[in-house]
C-alpha cells in the first residue's frame, strides 16, 4: 500500500497543471473545488500509505522510492526519490489534512475575487512543494520543496499585488528566506564534501567519518536555513509583514505548514545533531528566546492577524526548544497541535475579518460573540488550547516540550514557563477585545465601508461579495465546517501522545527515526506533576490578568509601549542597515569604482587616442579605423616581444 | 627539451555524418552565412518582407538541424563527433576543421534556438533587410566559433562576430548607441589582438618543437610542451580576450552600455550567445590548451570571478535603468561560471557548461520580455514603471517564470547549473564557493526588486493609457524558451549525459598534467 506514495505527490501537481492551463474553462467555483479535490485526494493517499507503512515491522519502516535519476555528475548522484518513514508520513498526513480544510474554506473566502482561479493554482503548487519538502529522500530534493514553498509564499503574500505593501512584504519574505537558504546550501556542500552523498540514508550511514566540529558547522548552517523558514530570531522580520496575504494563506503557509519546515528539517537531521551537543544547546536557547521575545511583542499588537503572527513565531520557538532539548517527538507533537489550533485561530480570524468588512484592528471590534456563535466557540477552544489548558491538545504538547527542557536545564524551563504566562495573557486580550465587551464597530461601520470602497476595492473586500448592510454574520458551511473540524482536532489532538507509558503513540511511532535523549527523559512522576502544575497555574494567571485588564478598558497605553508595538525596532534597524549602509556601499561601487575608476581608465585611454587621432585626420566617423590601426600596431610590437622572449 | 614533452591521451575525433547523409556541421555554419549573403545581394531594399521570410525560414531550419544534431549526438563518448577536416591554407597548416563534443553541443543548439527567437520575436522597423542580413551573418559567425577545431579558424569566426554586433548596437540601438558600439568594439578588439598574438606564438613554438606548423586544437591540446612560464603568458593572451567577452570583472564596463543601448534583438543575442563565446573559449582554449597555466592562475581567475559576482549584484541594486540593471547581474551570473570552471572538478565544469546553456535560454527569454516591457512603457527607467501586471497578466507570469529561473529556484534550469557550479567549487576551493553563494543570495534581491517595480503596485504615471499584454508573435518566440527552462530544470539527465564525458575528459587532462588529483567525493571514488 505504500505504493500510493507517488499519488500523494502527483495529485496536487496535476491540480496545478489543470488549473493553470484549463482553469479558465472551469469557471470560478469549480476551479476551487477541483483544487480542493486534488488536495483531499492526496490526503486519502497519505492515509493509505500511512496504513501501509504501519503494517510493516517497526525497524523496516524506512523505505526509499526512487523515481528517476535527476542530477548525476561524477560522485554526485542525486535522484528524485521519496523517503517513506514514520516522520515523513506524520508530516504529510497533517499537511494534506489541514490543507484540504483550508482549500475548502478558501472557496468561500475568495469568492468573487477576480484572481480566484490563480489563488488555487498557487495553493495547489504550494501543497505539492510542501509534500516534496517532507517526503524527499535527499537534501537536494528537499531543497526543491523548501524553495518551492518559499516561492509560493512569495506569490501568495503578494497576491493582491497592486497594494504596494503586499508586494513589498512578499519580496521581503523571499529575500530574508534567501539568507537562510545560503545556510542550507552551504550545509549541503559540507555534507557532500564529507560524506560524498546527499541522500538521507547515505549521509547518516557515513557520519562515522564526520568530526564533531564539522557536525556542528553543518548543524548550525542548517539551523540558519531553519531560522529563516521558521521565522526565528533574527530572521523573523518577514513573518509579521507576510500577514498582507489573504487570511487562508496565513493559516496554511504562515501558521500550519511552511513555517514548520525548519523544525521538520532539524528533526530530520537528528543523527547529525546527535554528534554535536553544542548545536543542540544553541537551538534550545534560540528557541526559548524567540518564544519569549515574540510573546512580549504579541502583547502589544492591535491587528488581529499580527497578534497571531507573533504568536506563531513564539510557538515555533517552543518547537525549537523541543528540538534543542533532543525531544524530537515532543517537537513534532507540538507542531501538529499547533497546526490545528493556529490554523483554526487564523481561519476564525478570517471569519471575523470577513464579518467586519476587512477591519483588522481589534480595538474596533468587540462583542462579536453574539453574532458569530460558531466562530467564537471554535476560537475559544483554540484559545484554551494555545494557552495550555487541559484537556486541549496544546496543554499536552507544550508540557512535553517543557518537561524535556527542564531535563536539559531548569533555566530553559523557567523562560519557557514565563512564556506560557504571556501566551495566555495575549490570547486572552485578543479574545476579550474581539468577542466580548461593547460592539465598538457599530459607529465605525459606515466609515469602514466607505474607506474600503475608495481604496480600489479588490481582494478581501471584493472577496466577500455578499450583503454588508446587516449585522455581522457567519459564512456559509464551507467556511464553518473547517472551523468545527479543527476545533474537534484541538480538543482531541492530545490523545495522539499522552504522557503515560503505552499511550505515547506518537513517540513510539517516531522512535525508529527520531528519538532523542529528551524524549526518553524520565523525571520522577512527582517532579513532572509539579512542573505541570506550575505551568498550569501560570496559564491560569495569564488568562485571569488578561481578562481583568482588558475586560474593563480597551485603552491601556502603558501596556502597549512603542518598543513592543514596533517589535523592538527590529525593522527600523534592519532597514537602516540594509538600505542605508548597504545602499550607500552599492552606490559607491557603482559611481566611484565602475564609472570613475574602471570606465575612467578606459575613457582616458580612448581620449588619448582620440586627441592623437585628430592631428592625423579630420574625418568624424573614423574612430573605429583609427583605434583598429593603433591596436594592430600594438599587436605587432607585443608579438615581436613575445617571439623574442619565447626563444 | 623532450623532458617537458608530455603527450596527454589523444582526443577521439570521429568523422562522418552520423547518419545525416550530409555533413551536418558545415551545413549549420554555412546555411546562415549563405542566407546572409543572399539577403545582402539579392533582396531589394524595398522588399524587406522577403528578407524577413528568409531570416525566419533559415534561422528556424538551422535550429532544427542543431536540435537534430544534439539528439543524434552519441552519449558516453568524450571526443568530437560529426567531424569534418579539410586542408585550407596548407602553407600555414590552417585547416577547415569542425567538430562538436559535450562542451559545445548544447552551446551550438542554444545559439541556433536563440537566433530565430531574436529574429522573429524582436523585429525592427528601420531597414529590416540589413538587420536580417547582419543577424544571419552573426549567427554563422557564432556557430562557427563553437564548432571550429582549428585555432586560426576559430579566431576568424570569433572576429567575424564583431562587425555584425557592432552594427546591431550602432545602427538599431538607443540614443547613446554610437558610444556604446564603439566601446564594445574597442574592448573586444583589444582583447582579440592579444589572442592573435598568443595563437601565433603558440603555433610558432609548436612548429619549433615538432617541426610542423599547425593550428589544430587537438594537436595543440594533446602535445603539451610549453614551460609553465610561457604557458602563462600565452594563457593570458587568450584569457584576456575571453575575459572581455564574458565579461569578467574588471573588463565589464562595456557591457552595461552595450546592453542598454542595443535593440531588443541585439541585446538578446548579446546576453544569450556572445557571453557563451567567452566562457566557452575559457574552457576550450585556456583550460584545455594551457592546463598548467590554468592551474597556476586559478586563484586569480577564481578571485576575479567571485569579486565579479558580489560586485555585479551590488552595483545592479542601485541601477535605475532596467537594462543596465540586468546587465550588471550578468556580470554576477557569469562570475559564478568562471569560478566553477577554475575549480577543476567535474561538477564545476559540467555545471559551468550547463549554466552556459541555461544562460542562453533564460537570458534570451529575459531580454525578449524586457524588450516588450520597455516598449510598453516607452522607457527603460524603472522609476517610471509599475502596475503592469493588472494589464498584462500573461506577460507578468512569463516574466516571473524567467525571473525564478535566473534567481535559481530549484525545479527550473538555473538551479541545476548553479548548484553544480557551487558544489563543484566547494570541494576544492571552499571560500570562493562561499563568496559565490553570497552572490546567489543577492540575485534574488535585484530581480525581485525589478519585478516589483515593473509589475506590482499602481502605474506611476497615472495618465498612461492601458498597456497591452504580450503579443502573439512575442509569445510564440518566448514559449520554446520557457518550455526549455522547465525541462532543463526537471530532467537534466539527457543533457548531462552528453556533457559529462567531455567535462570529465578535460578534468582528467588537467589533473594528469598538473598532478592535481580531483577530490574523491567529486569522482565518486570514495567507497
Give chain B positions within 8 Å (CB) of A190. 426
Backbone angles phi, psi at A503, to 5 degrees: -85, 0
Nearest to A76 among B423, B434, B455 (CB): B423
Give whole-number Cα distances, A407 to A411, A506, B81, B453, in Å: 10, 20, 67, 52
Cβ within 8 Å, pair A75-B525:
yes
Give chain B positions within 8 Å (CB) of A66. none
Give whole-number Cα distances, A110 to A41, A102, A449, A467, B391, in Å: 22, 11, 18, 15, 21
pLDDT at B6 over 50: no
Nearest to B444 among A69, A178, A194 (CB): A178
Query: Which stretches of A553-622 are DSSP H helices?
Result: 562-565, 570-575, 583-588, 599-616
Nearest CA in chain A to B253: A599
pLDDT at A142 over 90: yes
Report how far residue A329's alpha carbon sits from residue A85's, in angstroms, rounded to the nearest whole number: 14
Mean pLDDT of B485-499: 95
Which residues are paired to A483 by β-bridges?
A: none
Give chain B positions within 8 Å (CB) of A192. 423, 426-427, 521
CA A307 to chain centre: 16
Evaluate whether B349 touches B283 at the Cβ level (below 8 Å): yes
Cell of B326: 540586468
Evaluate whether A208 touches A196 at the Cβ level (below 8 Å): no
Which pTM value belongs to this model? 0.91
pLDDT at A517 over 90: no
pLDDT at A466: 43
Of A262-266, A274-278, A578-582, B27-31, which gets the smallest average pLDDT? A578-582
pLDDT at A21 over 50: yes
Pick the more confident residue, B516 or B401. B401
pLDDT at A322: 94
Q: Calculate the average pLDDT of chain A.
A: 85
Evaluate whether A216 touches A278 at the Cβ level (below 8 Å): yes
Which 331-370 residues of chain A touch chain B by CB within 8 A? none
The tens digit of pLDDT for each residue in B80-126 reads 999 999 988 888 889 999 999 999 999 999 999 999 999 988 888 88
Q: Calculate the average pLDDT of chain B.
A: 89
Of A128-142, A481-495, B177-191, which gets the smallest average pLDDT? B177-191
Please, which residues have CB within 8 angstroms of residue B435's CB and are 6 or more apart in sequence? B306, B309, B310
pLDDT at A189: 95
Give whole-number Cα distances, A248 to A104, A120, A490, A532, B491, in Å: 10, 11, 18, 34, 33
Pairs across A and B, CB distance < 8 A: 193
pLDDT at A642: 63
Closest CA relative to residue A174, chosen from B507, B170, B441: B441
Backbone angles phi, psi at A430, to 5 degrees: -65, -50
Q: Name the burial class of residue B282, with classes exposed (0-12), middle (13-18) and buried (19+) by CB atoms within 10 angstroms of its CB.
A: buried
The tens digit of pLDDT for each residue in A430-441 reads 999 998 888 887
Any B CB within 8 A of A66 CB:
no
Report how far residue B15's alpha carbon sits from residue B83's, in angstroms, rounded to the nearest whole number: 4
Cell of B296: 597556476
Cβ within 8 Å, pair B253-A74:
no
Nearest to A73 among B410, B444, B496 (CB): B496
Cβ within 8 Å, pair B492-A587:
no
Any B CB within 8 A of A592 CB:
no
Q: How far is B316 from chain A (nearest CA, A)?
A: 8
The model's confidence at residue A119, banded by pLDDT at 50, 70 and 90, is: very high
Nearest to A635 among B197, B315, B319 (CB): B197
Q: Considering only CA atoms, give the Rg of chain B.
A: 22
Helix (H, G, I), strand (E, B) or coil at A75: coil
Report how far residue B356's alpha carbon sits from residue B488's, in angstroms, rounded to the nearest whole number: 12
pLDDT at A469: 57
Any B CB within 8 A of A175 CB:
yes
Alpha carbons within 13 angstroms on the beta-carbon side of residue A587 total 8
pLDDT at A447 over 50: no
Nearest to A71 among B205, B311, B416 (CB): B416
Amino acid at each position: 500500500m505504500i505504493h500510493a506514495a507517488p499519488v500523494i505527490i502527483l495529485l496536487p501537481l496535476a491540480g496545478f497543471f489543470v488549473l493553470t492551463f484549463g482553469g479558465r474553462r472551469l469557471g470560478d467555483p469549480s476551479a476551487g473545488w477541483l483544487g480542493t479535490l486534488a488536495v483531499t485526494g492526496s490526503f486519502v493517499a497519505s492515509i493509505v500509505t500511512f496504513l501501509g507503512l504501519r503494517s510493516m515491522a517497526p525497524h523496516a519502516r524506512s523505505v526509499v522510492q526512487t523515481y528517476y535519476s535527476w542530477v548525476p555528475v561524477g560522485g554526485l548522484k542525486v535522484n528524485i526519490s521519496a523517503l517513506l518513514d514514520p516522520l515523513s508520513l506524520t508530516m504529510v498526513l497533517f499537511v494534506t489534512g489541514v490543507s484540504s480544510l483550508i482549500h475548502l474554506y478558501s472557496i468561500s473566502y475568495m469568492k468573487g475575487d477576480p484572481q480566484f482561479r490563480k489563488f488555487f493554482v498557487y495553493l495547489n503548487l504550494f501543497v505539492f512543494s510542501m509534500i516534496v519538502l517532507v517526503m524527499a529522500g535527499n537534501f537536494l530534493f528537499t531543497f526543491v520543496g523548501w524553495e518551492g514553498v518559499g516561492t509560493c509564499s512569495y506569490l501568495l503574500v503578494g497576491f493582491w499585488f497592486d497594494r504596494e505593501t503586499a508586494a513589498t512584504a512578499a519580496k521581503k519574505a523571499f529575500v530574508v528566506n534567501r539568507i537562510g537558504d545560503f545556510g542550507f546550501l552551504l550545509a549541503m556542500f559540507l555534507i557532500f564534501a564529507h560524506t560524498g552523498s546527499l541522500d538521507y540514508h547515505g549521509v547518516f550511514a557515513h557520519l562515522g567519518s564526520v568530526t564533531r566540529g564539522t557536525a556542528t558547522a553543518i548543524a548550525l548552517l542548517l539551523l540558519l536555513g531553519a531560522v529563516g523558514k521558521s521565522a526565528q530570531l533574527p530572521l523573523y522580520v518577514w513573518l509579521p509583514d507576510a500577514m498582507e496575504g489573504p487570511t487562508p494563506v496565513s493559516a496554511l503557509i504562515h501558521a500550519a505548514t511552511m513555517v514548520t519546515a525548519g523544525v521538520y528539517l532539524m528533526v530530520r537531521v537528528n543523527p547529525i545533531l546527535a554528534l554535536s551537543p553544542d548545536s543542540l544547546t544553541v537551538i534550545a536557547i534560540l528557541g526559548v528566546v524567540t518564544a519569549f521575545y515574540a510573546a512580549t511583542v504579541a502583547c502589544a499588537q492591535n491587528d488581529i492577524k499580527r497578534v497571531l503572527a507573533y504568536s506563531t513565531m513564539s510557538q515555533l520557538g517552543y518547537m525549537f526548544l523541543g528540538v534543542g532539548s533532543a525531544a524530537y517527538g515532543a517537537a513534532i507533537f507540538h507542531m501538529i497541535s499547533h497546526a490545528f489550533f493556529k490554523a483554526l485561530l487564523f481561519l476564525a480570524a478570517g471569519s471575523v475579518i470577513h464579518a467586519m468588512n476587512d477591519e483588522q484592528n481589534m480595538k474596533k471590534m468587540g462583542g462579536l460573540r453574539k453574532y458569530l456563535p460558531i466562530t467564537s466557540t471554535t476560537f475559544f477552544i483554540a484559545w484554551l488550547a494555545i494557552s495550555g489548558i487541559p484537556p486541549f491538545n496544546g496543554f499536552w504538547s507544550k508540557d512535553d516540550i517543557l518537561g524535556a527542557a527542564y531535563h536539559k536545564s531548569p533555566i530553559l524551563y523557567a523562560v519557557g514557563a514565563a512564556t506560557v504566562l504571556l501566551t495566555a495573557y495575549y490570547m486572552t486580550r485578543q479574545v476579550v477585545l474581539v468577542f466580548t465587551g461593547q460592539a465598538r464597530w457599530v459607529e465605525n461601520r459606515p466609515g469602514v465601508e466607505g474607506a474600503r470602497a475608495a481604496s480600489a476595492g479588490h481582494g478581501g473586500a471584493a472577496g466577500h461579495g455578499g450583503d454588508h448592510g446587516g449585522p455581522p454574520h457567519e459564512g456559509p458551511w464551507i467556511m464553518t465546517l473547517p472551523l468545527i473540524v479543527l476545533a474537534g482536532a484541538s480538543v482531541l489532538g492530545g490523545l495522539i501522545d499522552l504522557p503515560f507509558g503505552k499511550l505515547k503513540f506518537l513517540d513510539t511511532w517516531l522512535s525508529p527515526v527520531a528519538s532523542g535523549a529528551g524524549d526518553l527523559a524520565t523525571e520522577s512522576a512527582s517532579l513532572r506533576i509539579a512542573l505541570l502544575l506550575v505551568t498550569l497555574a501560570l496559564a491560569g494567571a495569564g488568562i485571569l490578568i488578561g481578562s481583568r485588564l482588558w475586560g474593563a478598558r480597551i485603552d491601556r497605553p502603558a501596556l502597549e509601549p512603542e518598543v513592543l508595538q514596533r517589535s523592538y525596532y527590529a525593522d527600523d534597524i534592519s532597514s537602516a542597515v540594509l538600505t542605508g549602509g548597504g545602499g550607500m556601499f552599492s552606490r559607491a561601487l557603482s559611481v566611484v569604482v565602475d564609472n570613475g575608476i574602471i570606465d575612467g581608465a578606459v575613457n582616458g585611454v580612448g581620449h588619448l587616442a582620440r586627441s592623437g587621432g585628430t592631428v592625423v585626420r579630420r574625418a568624424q566617423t573614423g574612430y573605429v579605423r583609427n583605434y583598429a590601426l593603433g591596436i594592430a600596431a600594438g599587436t605587432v610590437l607585443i608579438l615581436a616581444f613575445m617571439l623574442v622572449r619565447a626563444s | 627539451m623532450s623532458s617537458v614533452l608530455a603527450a596527454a591521451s589523444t582526443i577521439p575525433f570521429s568523422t562522418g555524418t552520423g547518419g545525416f547523409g550530409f555533413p551536418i556541421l558545415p551545413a549549420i555554419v554555412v546555411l546562415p552565412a549563405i542566407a546572409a549573403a543572399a539577403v545582402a545581394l539579392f533582396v531589394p531594399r524595398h522588399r524587406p518582407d522577403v528578407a524577413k521570410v528568409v531570416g525566419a525560414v533559415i534561422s528556424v531550419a538551422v535550429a532544427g538541424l542543431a536540435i537534430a544534431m544534439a539528439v543524434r549526438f552519441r552519449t558516453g563518448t568524450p571526443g568530437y563527433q560529426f567531424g569534418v577536416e579539410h586542408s585550407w591554407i596548407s602553407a600555414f597548416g590552417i585547416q577547415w576543421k569542425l567538430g562538436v563534443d559535450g562542451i559545445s553541443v548544447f552551446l551550438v543548439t542554444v545559439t541556433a534556438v536563440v537566433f530565430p527567437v531574436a529574429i522573429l520575436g524582436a523585429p525592427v522597423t528601420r531597414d529590416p533587410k540589413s538587420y536580417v542580413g547582419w543577424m544571419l551573418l552573426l549567427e554563422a559567425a557564432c556557430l562557427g566559433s563553437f564548432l571550429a577545431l582549428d585555432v586560426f579558424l576559430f579566431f576568424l569566426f570569433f572576429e567575424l562576430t564583431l562587425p555584425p554586433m557592432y552594427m546591431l548596437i550602432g545602427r538599431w540601438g538607443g540614443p547613446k548607441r554610437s558610444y556604446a558600439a564603439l566601446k564594445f568594439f574597442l574592448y573586444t578588439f583589444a582583447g582579440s589582438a592579444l589572442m592573435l598574438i598568443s595563437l601565433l606564438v603558440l603555433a610558432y613554438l609548436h612548429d619549433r618543437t615538432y617541426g610542423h606548423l599547425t593550428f589544430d586544437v587537438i594537436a595543440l591540446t594533446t602535445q603539451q610542451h610549453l614551460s609553465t612560464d610561457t604557458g602563462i603568458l600565452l594563457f593570458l593572451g587568450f584569457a584576456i580576450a575571453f575575459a572581455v567577452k564574458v565579461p569578467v570583472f574588471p573588463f565589464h564596463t562595456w557591457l552595461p552600455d552595450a546592453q542598454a543601448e542595443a535593440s531588443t534583438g541585439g541585446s538578446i543575442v548579446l546576453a544569450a550567445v556572445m557571453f557563451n563565446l567567452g566562457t566557452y573559449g575559457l574552457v576550450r582554449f585556456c583550460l584545455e590548451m594551457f592546463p598548467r597555466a590554468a592551474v597556476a592562475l586559478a586563484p586569480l581567475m577564481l578571485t576575479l570571478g567571485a569579486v565579479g559576482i558580489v560586485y555585479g549584484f551590488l552595483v545592479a541594486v542601485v541601477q535605475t535603468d532596467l537594462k543596465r540593471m540586468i546587465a550588471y547581474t550578468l556580470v554576477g551570473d557569469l562570475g559564478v561560471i568562471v569560478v566553477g570552471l577554475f575549480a577543476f572538478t567535474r561538477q564545476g565544469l559540467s555545471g559551468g557548461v550547463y549554466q552556459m546553456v541555461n544562460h542562453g535560454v533564460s537570458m534570451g527569454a529575459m531580454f525578449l520580455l524586457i524588450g516588450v516591457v520597455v516598449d510598453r512603457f516607452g522607457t527603460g527607467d524603472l522609476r517610471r514603471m509599475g502596475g503592469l501586471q493588472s494589464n498584462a497578466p500573461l506577460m507578468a507570469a512569463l516574466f516571473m517564470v524567467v525571473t525564478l529561473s535566473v534567481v535559481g529556484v530549484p525545479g527550473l534550469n538555473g538551479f541545476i547549473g548553479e548548484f553544480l557550479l557551487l558544489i563543484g567549487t566547494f570541494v576544492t576551493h571552499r571560500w570562493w564557493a562561499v563568496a559565490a553563494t553570497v552572490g546567489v543570495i543577492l540575485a534574488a534581491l535585484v530581480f525581485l526588486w525589478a519585478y516589483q517595480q515593473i509589475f506590482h503596485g499602481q502605474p506611476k504615471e497615472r495618465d498612461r493609457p492601458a498597456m497591452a499584454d504580450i503579443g502573439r508573435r512575442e509569445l510564440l518566440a518566448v514559449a520554446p524558451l520557457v518550455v526549455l527552462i522547465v525541462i532543463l530544470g526537471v530532467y537534466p539527465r539527457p543533457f548531462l549525459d552528453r556533457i559529462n564525458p567531455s567535462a570529465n575528459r578535460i578534468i582528467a587532462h588537467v589533473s594528469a598534467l598538473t598532478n592535481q588529483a580531483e577530490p574523491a567525493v567529486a569522482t565518486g571514488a570514495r567507497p
